[in-house]
Amino acid sequence: MASLITLKRRIGSIRGTRQITKAMQLVSASKLRRAQEQARISRDYREAAYALLAQLVSVPEVTDRPLFRKRSVHSRLYVVITSNSGLAGAYNANILKLLTQNLQRDRANKVKSSVIAIGSKGAQFVRRLADTELLAYYPAFGDHPTQAAIQPVLRSVVEEYINESVDEVTVLYTMSRSGILQEAMALPLLPAIMDTEVTATPVTNMNFEPDIDTVVRQVATRLIEVQIWQVLLESLASEHAMRMIAMKNATDNASELIDDYTLEYNTARQANITQELAEITGGAEALKD
């Protein structure tokens, strides 16, 4: 049994840790509400973008434009969204597991894989892979991402596809289904013909000004930007939700440890007291003799 001093120090240390995890839980809960509201509000905008995309795809001249043209897949680019820090449960692990599964599938199909990492955890993981190229790394955009912040990612993705350096672009992110359910997902980004439940009315006659290439490229780029923006917001909400749950579990575990060590401390203290009383009683009896 550990000494009383050791047990007292352990209890004090765990109490300090519990205060930290409790504070982090409260902070994540506060950030989660704002992140969920941001993601919810922008979902309507994303659906409108999907509807417009479906309208464009129904125009025969559009499907042959560079951002819409399908090619045989010999090279695939993944945009992987993780966090800069840990202590978020399985948030990063789920995305990296999904990335690993996709890389194994590409390797089996002899498809070259490359990655653009958003968040340091994803970049650190990809750097350790021998057969996967890390094209670019961007730190996580924080709790308030801006349109300007995602422009470098957007330009990199569009240029890689237009230059035919890659034949397909997929985003790996975490979808916030609810406060307790987060799902790692893969979203096809390019070519700009996404699976969507929106049913578009076929368009037989459409005029483009000044010309079809300029209009389609600008509109398609904007629609891709909307999707990147939305997955960032969904990932941010998921990160805060999983960090809040992880910190709550850590706080609960710390409380249980404190209870266990307190019981052990009281038991040891009682044993010491009993032993001291026995020694005093024994000494008193010896004096009587």
Per-residue pLDDT at 198: 47
Per-residue pLDDT at 77: 93
Q: Is 113 helix (H, G, I), strand (E, B) or coil?
A: strand
Tokens of 83: 């966090």
Contacts of 5 (CB under 8 A, 6+ apart): none
**Rounded alpha-carbon distances, angstroms, from residue 157 to 115, 153, 190, 210:** 10, 6, 9, 25
> Cα–Cα distance between 11 and 57 in angstroms, integer?
64
> Cα–Cα distance between 70 and 189 in angstroms, integer?
12
For the stretch 83-107, pLDDT in tens is 888 888 888 899 999 999 999 999 9
Q: Please state whether beta strands 168-176 and 182-190 pair in parallel, antiparallel, or not at all (unpaired).
A: antiparallel
**CATH of region 43-244, choose from 3.40.1380.10, 3.40.30.10, 3.10.20.30, 3.30.1380.10:** 3.40.1380.10
Q: Which residues of the chain have pLDDT under 70?
A: 1-2, 57-63, 179, 193-215, 284, 289
